[in-house]
């Protein structure tokens, strides 16, 4: 299996507590967050991982080098911000497989990747999105599905929030979905592909209740540190 990890964001909201390293390198109990993420996915048999990097990318490369725990690493460096979709598209040049798993470099979502693969291959789709039920969707917006797990609606962020399922930042997709977009162009995967095409092309949702945390804000960054100390 191959994975692309999106690790090129600026981490603006986290600057008040982590300012000298890119967000995926934020220390968690003395270790870079990205190590915790890699430790989890490597256990599922990934044999090549592409890190899509940008801001302070040299700090990630200096720490990890060309492999992590014997798994080869490649670096797709953005010379200018390309957005989530542009970053994925840029990273494809280092991928060999037709079906690829993509995940956010600032989110720890401990799903079972073997189950995700089985789900993806059992549905007629080029995209499976991993969703997580949360008590308050206000920070994220929500994703609704029909009775067959097909994505039926995206709802924008609202102050009211409430119980719902959110995009957990993990996708399994066919590379053709990205190759239809022009190379070296900035675009949002969520807006330009998911939200524009879901009515015409079947995209499916894999829902997991596994441990989930997004370290994009100081409160959740601190919570993850506390969780690991326990």
The pLDDT value recorded for residue 15 is: 67
Q: Quick: pLDDT tens for 25-51.
A: 999 998 999 999 999 999 999 999 999
- State if pTM tops 0.85: yes
Q: Quick: pLDDT tens for 148-206.
A: 999 999 998 877 778 999 999 999 999 999 999 999 999 999 999 999 999 999 999 99
Q: Quick: pLDDT tens for 125-136.
A: 999 999 999 998
The pLDDT value recorded for residue 202 is: 97
The answer to whether the beta carbons of residues 203 and 125 sit under 8 Å apart is: yes
φ and ψ of 101, to 5 deg: -100, 135
- Boundaries of every domain in the chain: 2-229
Name the fold adopted by 2-229.
Spore Coat Polysaccharide Biosynthesis Protein SpsA; Chain A (3.90.550)
Q: Dihedral of CA 8/13/19/25: which sign?
A: negative
Q: Which of 178, 204, 214, 209 is nearest to 91 (CA)?
A: 178
């Amino acid at each position: 299996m191959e994975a692309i990890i999106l690790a090129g964001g600026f981490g603006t909201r986290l600057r008040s507590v982590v300012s000298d390293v890119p967000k995926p390198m934020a220390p968690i109990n003395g270790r870079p967050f990205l190590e915790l993420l890699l430790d989890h996915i490597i256990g599922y048999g990934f044999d090549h991982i592409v890190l899509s990097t940008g801001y302070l990318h040299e700090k990630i490369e200096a720490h990890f080098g060309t492999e992590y725990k014997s798994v080869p690493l490649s670096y797709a460096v953005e010379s200018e911000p390309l957005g989530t979709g542009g970053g994925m598209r840029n990273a494809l040049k280092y991928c060999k497989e037709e079906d690829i798993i993509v995940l956010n470099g600032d989110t720890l979502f401990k799903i079972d990747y073997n189950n995700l693969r089985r789900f993806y291959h059992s549905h007629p789709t080029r995209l499976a999105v991993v969703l997580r039920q949360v008590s308050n969707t206000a920070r994220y917006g929500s994703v609704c599905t029909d009775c067959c797990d097909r994505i039926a609606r995206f709802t924008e962020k609202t102050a009211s929030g409430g119980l719902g399922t959110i995009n957990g930042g993990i996708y399994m997709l066919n590379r053709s979905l990205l190759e239809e977009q022009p190379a070296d162009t900035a675009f949002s995967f969520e807006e330009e592909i998911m939200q524009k095409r879901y009515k015409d092309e079947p995209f499916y949702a894999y829902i997991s209740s596994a441990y989930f945390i997004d370290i994009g804000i100081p409160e959740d960054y601190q919570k993850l540190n506390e969780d690991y100390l326990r």
